[in-house]
Structure 1
Amino acid sequence: MNDKQQQINVKDVTPQVRSHRPTDDGHIYVRAQTGQWQRLRKYLGWVLMSIFIVGPWMTWNGRQALLFDVEQQRFQVFATTIWPQDLTLLALLLMVSAFALFFVTTFLGRVWCGYVCPQTIWTFIFIWFEEKLEGSANKRRQLDKAPWGFNKIWRKSAKHIAWLAVSLLTGFTFIAYFVPAKELALEMLTFSTSFWVGFWVLFFAFCTYGNAGWMRTIMCTHICPYSRFQSAMFDKDTYTVSYDVERGESRGPRPRKADPKELGLGDCIDCNLCVQVCPAGIDIRDGLQYECINCGACVDACDQTMDRMGYERGLISYTTEHKLRHKVTHVARPKLIGYGIVMALMVAAFVYMASSIMPMGIEIIRDRNQLYRETNEGLIENTYTMKIMNKTLDTETYRLNVEGLEDANWIGPQEVVIRGGEILSLPISLAADSYLLPDPVTDITFVITHTGLDQDDPKATLRNKSKFFSPIN
């Protein structure tokens, strides 16, 4: 075989990605953008931020309404107190959250990341301070290149002071969900917090400052796993921020009144505004990328450009792959329906369990030293330890009784008062005539009644089964 026959033609098929990242040394200077999607994101972010800040200060019956007291091992959620034995609710809540995320991602892509993720909300808050104190994206770029002087020092200092203030407020507010907010505020003002409380406030403040001020989208692309596994939930009917290649190409500048068809151009004028407003610094025209958080900034920028040029909006829009290919978008599809059904079942289970939480708990422990003993009166006596928990935060009164053992003598108090959140260990004995017991083992039920509730309320009475042992007749 000669050299000509041995020659193999090689063609480079690597996609030519045109990057227009507005970065210097890896830094992204995000250009400010307005529009309907940015207004929605901004208002939603401020609402969620306000709820986060106000949450620890809400009260219910004179107490903090939302308090996850790890030290006392109880979670207070308005009128409901959740104890460790009720933490199945937490597992169900996490399952509901997971399937809700799967459902929304399959339907609307990464709208969680773009609109309600704390990382995104805090990042845009930090960028807002950056814009107010250092100026627009071009001014910030010029400021970074400029030599150090009074103007640069005071602007940079003011920005970082604002960032640190927001970070400290965030760290304080987060810990206030686990430590009573009023006590924490007083201790912080007087510098009398314990080491660990102060450590965790500063730790979360440092994380906020680092994540929202410096790392920003690095958290989304390199640390958060969501950007990696989102593709498993996407399909051709998922709504994502996409560029209409068929309509936009070939791109290029042109006079406003020129006919793009006569120039052989598409609707994209290659202004690069979609890149300049992107917090991740990507070019959406290169196709869907895992860095995209679906915030819609490029959609607003492109729509405003189309308005100025007199073109139809939607060159960049929330759309589906099927729609871009002029096919029918199927909203109700098996995967989405499956996620919805599982999520609905999890929500139903969570609501049922949350509504079934009892305000008290009872545990019966039999005396392990002996099954029974015979009293001086000839009665058969069994000994038990009753552990009664008051799962509310108020002092309550409970009546005690037993079912299944007729004419039994109850040895011990039959009405007890327990303070909120306490567990009472109460030794009691039951004595019965062995001739009235047909079997050596009798099933009995201890009954505890909450006197402060309506007796028709199903939560007013709690039962716990046990055994009563006697000799064989």
Structure 2
Amino acid sequence: MSDIPVRQIDAGPNPDRIYVRSTTGFYQKLRTVTLWALMGLYFAICWVQVNGRPMIHFDLPERQFHLLGSTFWPQDFFILTLLLIIAAFGLFFVTTLFGRVWCGFTCPQTAWTFIFMWIEEKVEGSRNQRMKLDRKGSLKKRIPRKFIKHELWLLVAFWTGVTFVGYFYPIRELVPDLFTFNVTNGWAVFWIGFFSVATYINAGWMREKVCLYVCPYARFQSVMFSPDTRTVTYDTNRGEPRGPRKKDTDRSEAGLGDCIDCNICVQVCPTGIDIRNGMQYECLDCGLCVDACNQVMDRMGYERGLIRYATEREVEGAPKRRFQPRTLGYGIAMALLLGSMATLLMQRDTLTIEVSRDRGGLYQTGPNATIENSYSLKLSNRTNDPRQLSVQVSGPEGTHLLEPISLELEPLDSRSLAAVVRIPRSELEGMSTPVQFEVTAEGSEASNSARTSFIGPSR
């Protein structure tokens, strides 16, 4: 059988550019599925509607945020804040267990870089073909391929910008307006251009440099690592001393470890590092070097796992610990926050009333020794269904509305109206008497109330 080809890493014609070699295996398949799925969700969800509205729509002019059929208002901003805190704890929890897998399998920068590299490989060929094209390719071959590649990159970048804006400006209106040059919102055009350029630069040109020099996660991830964190690891005890050899070479007689120093693990790495030099902040834990090394081990007839996901304790032969204190702490904190958020969502008001007393006068005198105050009410229906509402007022004996208030509010509608409250003068507690307005929705248990003061003459 043929020997395994051994050669030193070739940086290519441009030493600042990483020419990534494609590979196959479990982690490559997993990465392909997750990244394509995330890309598909990003481009598709903005088109999906629930109850006639986009599934996800941040309606800034109306100050409404539609998420999965529910509508949130600026008063619910603390729920979004809580969601971001939960996401942060979830990231910390996963990092303590599996290292930087977020970066390798789910990060948006990784997803867009993945599709840009996929386009590059389809247009320009494999790693060796791309290097040859850049080094020795004639202009006749190079220019058409480069032109097609960059055109496809720009197309993906443009549609990325359109889709992003489509979460703020309904995509079913945005796309027809774009192609008919009927977009009247200048900010929409600006942000489409901005995100198109940003995507083209980040995923097409900067690539791994964003992960290495821009992303803060690469810098503080080491704080969350411990000897029990499972990361991509090179088994030094088994692999060293490394060196090339023929397949039938006796490793013991040659004084060699299992690593044949083929550098394939470096060639498939998206950030161009050598995992054999130990844990490095540049490592994305994507597992591509694991797949590549396992293929080499199979061809050599060696046991798989020279490079694998393992903890520092496992590599050193120490007993594994099932849970680490910090992982348990992150998990408990995340569970508590999830419970709090679920409670807040269940108790969120879907019907609101705001009351302000008319500043035009302190009070008016009514018939039969009564006192009147004028108020402004604002009622809001925060559901996606119409509601028939009625308003009552409570206070001292004899408190009532001068005219009954009953109205229908459309979904997500608000209405401002005037109300006059009358109270017998003999029932007033002084210059200020507390009263309460209550709004109820017919056919449901939804209600809300607001307290205010009723001004009368001094005794």
Secondary structure of 1:314's aligned partner: coil
Q: 2:248 aligns with which of 247, 251, 257?
A: 257
| Deviation readout 1:55-106 (Å, 9 max, x if unpaired) | 1111112222211111221111233111111111111111011111111111
Q: What secondary structure sits across from 1:43 in the alignment?
A: helix
Preserved contact between residue 365 and residue 371 of structure 2 (Cα < 8 Å): yes
Correspondence 1:135-284 to 2 at 5 A: 135-194=125-184, 195-284=186-275
Aligned counterpart, 1:385: 376
Q: Work out the CA distance in 2 between the residues paired with 1:413 and 1:257.
A: 97
Cα distance in 2 for residues equivalent to 1:255 and 1:378: 111
Aligned counterpart for 1:461 among listed residues 444, 447, 453: 447
The letter of the residue matching 2:30 is L
Question: What is the CA-CA distance between 1:232 and the residue it aligns to?
Answer: 0.9
Offset of residue 444 of structure 1? 2.9
Distance 1:86 1:21 in 2: 55
User: 2:52 and 2:411 mapped to 1: Cα distance?
Assistant: 14
Are 1:74 and 2:64 counterparts?
yes
In structure 2, what is the Cα distance between the partners aligned to 1:155 and 1:147? Answer: 11
> How many Å apart are 1:264 and its aligned residue?
0.4
Report the Cα offset of residue 440 of structure 1. 5.8
Residue identity opposite 1:47 in structure 2: A
Q: State the secondary structure of the residue aligned to 2:242.
A: coil
In the alignment, which of 275, 282, 296 is matched to residue 291 of structure 1?
282
Residue identity matched to 1:466: T
Question: For residues 447 and 75 of structure 1, what CA distance do their matches in structure 2 show?
Answer: 26
**Of residues 27, 32, 43 in structure 1, which corresponds to 2:33?**
43
Alignment partner, residue 103 of structure 2: 113
- The DSSP-based 3-state class of the residue aligned with 1:40 is helix
Cα offset, 1:421, TM superposition: 3.6
Please tell me whether the aligned partners of residues 35 and 105 of structure 2 are also in contact (alpha carbons under 8 angstroms).
yes
**CA RMSD in angstroms, aligned pairs only:** 1.9
TM-score in terms of structure 1 length: 0.91
Task: Give yes or no for contact 1:395–1:417 (8 Å, CA) kept in 2.
Answer: yes
Q: Which whole-Å deviations, capped at 9, do the CAs of 1:139-179 have from their partners, x for residues lacking one?
A: 10110112542221111111111111111111111111110
Secondary structure at the aligned position of 1:28 is classed as coil
Bigger Cα displacement from structure 2, 416-425 vs 298-307: 416-425
From 409, 420, 433, the counterpart of 1:429: 420
SS of equivalent residue, structure 1 residue 87: helix
How many residue pairs get aligned? The number is 450
Q: Are the structure 2 counterparts of residues 72 and 203 from structure 1 closer, same or farther at C-alpha, using a change threshold of 3 Å? A: same
Deviates more, 1:230-239 or 1:463-472: 463-472
The letter of the residue matching 2:278 is G
Structure 2: state its 5+ residue gaps: 1-7
Contact 1:21 1:275 survives alignment (8 Å): no
Distance 1:342 1:370 in 2: 53
Matching residue's letter, 1:462 = N
Checking the alignment, whether the CA contact within 8 Å between 2:394 and 2:400 is kept in structure 1 is: no
Deviations 1:110-148 (A, max 9, x none): 000000001001111111111111111011011011254
Q: Is the 8 A contact 2:240 2:256 kept in 1?
A: yes
Structure 2 distance, partners of 1:231, 1:76, is 37
Pairs within 5 Å for 1:335-346? 335-346=326-337
Query: Is 1:402 the counterpart of 2:393 in the alignment?
Result: yes
Equivalents in 2 of 1:25, 1:258: separation in Å? 34
State the alpha-carbon separation in 2 of the partners of residues 69 and 127 from structure 1.
Answer: 34
Deviation of 1:343 after TM superposition, in Å, equals 1.1
- Contact 1:21 1:282 survives alignment (8 Å): no
Counterpart-to-counterpart distance in 1, 2:175 and 2:340: 37
Asked whether the equivalents of residues 21 and 283 of structure 1 are also in contact (C-alpha less than 8 Å), the reply is no
1:22 to 2, 11, 15: 11
Is the Cα–Cα contact under 8 Å of residues 386 and 425 in structure 1 kept in the other structure? yes
2:342 pairs, out of 345, 348, 351, with: 351
Letter in 2 for 1:37: Y
- Worse-superposed segment, 167-176 or 273-282: 167-176
Cα distance in 2 between the residues matched to 1:251 and 1:25: 25
